[in-house]
Structure 1
C-alpha cells in the first residue's frame, strides 16, 4: 500500500522531500562517521593498553613469588645452624632440635604458596626429615641411589625438573636441591629438597590467560614447567603452545609482544624471561584478539546503533516535514488512492483529483442503487434472526434503530403475527409425498406473501420448512384494535381459501394478540406456534384467535387403557399387522370427544412409553436397535394421524419384531421352516391349520401365532399366496381351464378369480394372454 501511494505522489512532494533530507541527514551522517572512526580507534587503543598492563602486573606478581622463593633458598643454604653437627644428630634424643627443624620446614611451606613440600636428607645418618612425614630412615636401595645422585652434582644449588619424591614412586615433581654445607660443591653431608606445588604453579600461570587463550612456562631446555588443563585443553590449544614455544626458542625476537595467526584466528602473544636460582624460564601468554577487542566491538556497535538511530530520526523527521508541506494536496489525493488503484499516470495532482472526483460521483450513484436493491434481503435476514429469538440481547430502541437502517420505520407501530399449519397430505391419495413437504411449504409461503402484500405495506413471511408458515405484521396504531383484527381475519380466510383451491390441503391458522412492543414479538411468535397444537382434529379448516383462545381444563378426556395393554401384548407376541390395527383403533379413540391435536399427541406419547417398557422387558438393546435415535423427539415432529400410525409400524414395531424373531426359540424356527416347505409340497391338497397342528402335536392357536411370528403373515394368507403362485404356473405351462385349475386348488372359480385379481391386478385369463404374447 505504501509503495502504491509513493508512486502516485507528484513532483512537488519529491522536491520538498529531497531538500529536507539534505538539510537534516547530511550533518547527522557526518557526525556519526567521525564519531565511529575516531571513537572506536581511541577505545581500542585504551583497551589494548589496559590488557597489557594487566598482563604485566600478573607476570610481576609471579616473579615476586619466585624472588621470595629464591631468598628462602639462599637463606637456607647459608644458615650457620645447618652445619656438620647435623651428622651426629640423634633425632630421638635431641627431639627438641628435630622439632625445630620440622617447624622451620612448615613455616617455609606456609610463607610461599609455590612450595609444596620441604625435605632434608642426611647421608651419614641415612635419615630423611620432611614437613609432611616427619623423620624416617631411607630403606630402599633405589631411594638411596637417587639421594646419592643429588649430592654428586657439581652445583651447590640447582633445579631438578623430574625429581621423584621419596616414598611416592609414581610422582615426579619440580624441586630445588640445596647441598649442605652451603658454599661447598664436594663432600656434602646432606641436601635440602624444596618441592614446587605444580597445581599452584599451573594456576598462577593460567591466570595470565583468559577465555580461549593459553599461558605456559618452559625452561632453557624447552621443557614445559606447567602442565595443560587436561580437562579443558583442546588439541588445537596444545598444538598452539608447541608452535609458540618453537618460534620463541628458535627465533631471536626483539619485541616481547607480537601478533600470531593460528587456525584462522589472530592472537596477541606476550612473553618474558625470568632467571632465578640458576634456571632460565620463559613465560608465554597468547590471547585471541577478538577477546581483547570484545569491549571495543560492543562499544563500536553501540556507537553505530546510535548513529543509525540518529540517522533514522533524521529520515523520519524529514518524511514528517515533507508530508506537512505537501499535506493539503496529498490528503485529497490519498482519499482517492485508498479507495481504488489509480488508472492513469497523471503527474499533475490537480487534474488527477478532478478526474477521480468525477469517477467517485458516478460510482457513488451506482453503489446507492445497489444498496437500495439489497436492503430487502438484509431486512429479511435480520427479521429471521430476530423472530427466532437470536437477538434477545438487543433493547427495543436498538431494534427500532436497526429497522430504520433497513428502511422500515417501526416506531409508534403495532405488531402481530399469524401462523398457519397445513394438513392432509396423506388424504390426497399419494398426490404428494412426505418429501414434497418443503416444496409445499414454499408454495404456501408465496401465497401468503402475495395476499398480505396487497393489504399491508410491512409484511415478513417465515418459512418453517415443516408444512407451517408464519407472517410478521407491522401495523399502524389506531384508537381501537378492531379494524386491525378484522384485516387479519380477512387475510386468514383468503389464505385458507387459496390453499384449499390450489394445494388441496387443509389449514389451521392462529392469529396472535396485537402488541405495542416489538421486543415481545419473538415470544408472541413462539406462543402462537404452540397454539397450533390445540386445533380440533375433526375440523377441516380452523381459525384460532389468541385474544379469545383458552384451553378448556374442565373437559374429560377418555384414554383407552385397555387398547394400550392389548397393543403392548400384541407387540410382545410379534404380531405386526394386529398391532397396527389396534393402534389405528387407539388413534380413533383418542380423536373422539372433541380432542385437540395436543391431547392426541400426548396419548400417543404415553403409548410410546408403554411399548418402550414392553421392549425393555424382552432384554432388547434399544439404543443399538434404533441406532441411537431419539424416539420421542421423532414422534414430536409428526402431527397428522396417518403418519403417526405409519411411524409406529415401520420405525418402532417392525424393527423390534424382526429382532424378536431372530432371538426366538431355534427349534421352533426350524419346525416352522419345515412346515412351510411341507405346505409348498401339499399346496394342491386340501390343507388346514388343524391338520398340521395335529401332526406337530400342538394347539392350533399356538401354531398360528408361531407361524405368523416366524413368517410375517398368518397361515391362511400364506396358503392363498402359494396357491396364487401355483395358479400362475399352471396358467403359463398348461392349457387347463380356469375351472380345472380352481378345482385342483380347492377353490371356487369365482373366488379364485377375485383373489388372483386382488393379488396381481389382472384376471387369470389376462395373465395367460399376456405371457402367451411374451412367448
Structure 2
C-alpha cells in the first residue's frame, strides 16, 4: 500500500500543491497556513496507511477523503487556496480603494488650492508692486503735496500720465484713486478729478491710518452689485503725517477668473476668506463680502487651516479641505460633495466584485487543468533561471520578473550606450580641437570610443557658411539644423577616400573635418584640396548658400590638432578679402593680403564700436575713410561686397542683443539689397544715408529703459561740454537724478566708475591735442579744468605711463618715421 501511495502521489507528492498554489501565497500567514495543510495531509495519510495495514484490506471507504486520488485532492487544495485569497484580497482592495478616494480628494483639493494660492498671491504681489511704484513716484508725490489746482496743471498731467503708464505696464487690471488729504479732493483713473471726498473713501482713509506705512487690503462689502478689492497705501511712504492716500481698485470678478479656470466639475466649490473671516471670492456671488461667524460650518476650517473633514451646508454634505496663505493670511477652502464620493465607491465595489468573480472562474479552470506534469517544466525553469529563488512563493512571476528585468536592463544599457557614445565622441573631438587633452589621453579616448582617427599626422579643414547672418534670417531653427545635418553627412561622404577622418560642429555655421595621415606629402595635400573643392561645389549645387573652406597645415601627433584648428580659424578671417565660396590655405595668401586683412579688421571694429556707442556721425566719417582706402586694398567686387555683408551682419547682431531685427526696419531684405549695387560709392551712400539713419532713428525712438537713456544723455553731455566742469553733481542735476543713483547707473551700463571714465575721456582729448596741435601743456591743463599743471601731469603719467611732454615728442617722432 505504501508503494501504491508513492506511485499515485510521488515520494514528495505535496510539492506540486505548493507549486500550483504559489500564486495564492500573498502573505507570510497564508504561506504558514499552506504548510500546515500540507503537513496535515501527509500526517493523516500516514496514519490512514498504518490503519489499513492493521485492519486489512477490508478498510476501504470509497467516500473517505484520505482514499481520494491525489489529483482530486490537488484540485480541492487548489480551489480552496486560490479562491480564499482572491476573495480576501478583493474585499481588502475594495476597502482600501474606497478609503483612498478621500485621500485622492484631499490631494486634489490641496493641488487646486496650492495653484490658486500661488496665482492669487502673484496677482496681489503685482498689485502691491504697482502701489509701491506709484507711491514712490516723484510726480505722484509732488501732485499729492501741491494739490490739484489749475495752476499746477503740468504736475497733475505728469501724475495722470504716470498712473496710466503703471496701469498699462502691470499685468493685473485695476483702477487707481488718489486721495488728497489736505484738500479733501480725489483723482480717479476712471472718473478724473473729484473735488469732494466721497464715501466710502472717508472710511477707508480712517482705516488706512491705523496701518502705518503698510499695505492695507479692503475686501468687498456684502451685498454690493459690483464688489471690488481695494489695496491702499499712504503717500509719501514712511511719513508720520501722510499727505494723501493711494487706492488700487480690483474688480472681484477679475479675481474670480482664477477660480473659473479650474474645471471643478459637478458641485465642487472653492472659496477664499480673508484674515478677518470675510469671504473675498466664492462661486456663489451672494456669499462675497459676507463674514464667517462661529456658527458657520466653515468657521473651523478658517480658524484651523490645513484641516480636513465633512460638513453639511445647504442640505448638502461636503468633504472640505483648507490651507492658509503665508503672504496675506487668506484662507483657501475647497469643497466636494460626498455624494460624488459615494458614487465612486459604488462603482469601485461593482468593478471589484466583477473582477473577483472573473478571477474565481479563472482559478476554477486552472485548478481543473493544472497537474503535476504541467508544473514540472516550470519548476525546472525556475531552478535554471533563479535557483536561489526556487522555493519562493511566485515561481511564474519570478521567471517573468527575472526576464523582464534582464530585458529592461539590456535595452536601457544599450540605449544609454548609444546615446552617450555620440555625445562622448563629439565632446572628445571638441576637447582635442581646444587642446584640452594630451597625446596620451587623446590616444586612449580614440581606442576606447573607436574614433576613426589613425596616423601620426593630422590636418583640420574648417567649413564655414558664407554670410551666416543671412542664413540665420532666411531659415528657421529647425531648417537650419536639418541643413547642417545634411551638410555634415555630405562632408563625411566626401572624406571617405581618407582612411582616417572625423567631423565635429564647433559652433553654428561651422563644421570641422579632422583628417589623419600616415605621412604628409604633395599627393595628400592635393587630395585634401580636391575634396575641399568638391565640398564647395556640392554645396553650391544642392543648397541655396555657399561655404568657404580653410585648410590648415599638417601637424604631427594629436596635440597638433589644436594648432591646426586655430590656424584654420585665422585663415577664415581672410575670407573678407578673398571673397565667398573659396578654399583658403596659407600658401595662397600673399603678405600684402594679410596686411590688408589686418587693416580691414581694424576699420570694421572701430566702425561697429562707434555704432554701439551711438556716435553715428563718427561712424559715417569712419565709413567714408574706409571706403577711400578699400580700392587700394581690395580689387575684387565680391571681396568688397563680402566685407560690407560682414559689417551688416555685425550691425544686425548688435541690434539683436537690443531686441530688434535689422530687416524689421526695411521693406526689403538688407543683404539682398546690398548685392544690387554696382559701385562702391552707391554702397557707401546707402549704408551711411539709409542703414545708419534707420538704425539711429530706430534705436532713438524705441522705448529704452530710463537707465540707458540717462547714461546716453550723460555721455552726450560729456562729449558736448568736454571743456567745462564735469563733476558728478552737475551731471546729476542735468539728468535730474541724485549723484549716487547716477553713479550706480553709469557703473552698471558702462562697466566703469563715472570719474574714471571722465579722466580717461580727458586724457584722450589731451593726447589728441598734444599730437595734432601746438597748444601748451598749461593751456591744455586750463581747458580740461585741472587745478594746476603738476596735477594734470601726474594724472596723465598715471594713465599713459609718461609725462605729457615726452608723449608729444614720442608720438610726433613716430609720425615722422611713418
What is the TM-score when the length of structure 1 is the normalising length?
0.31
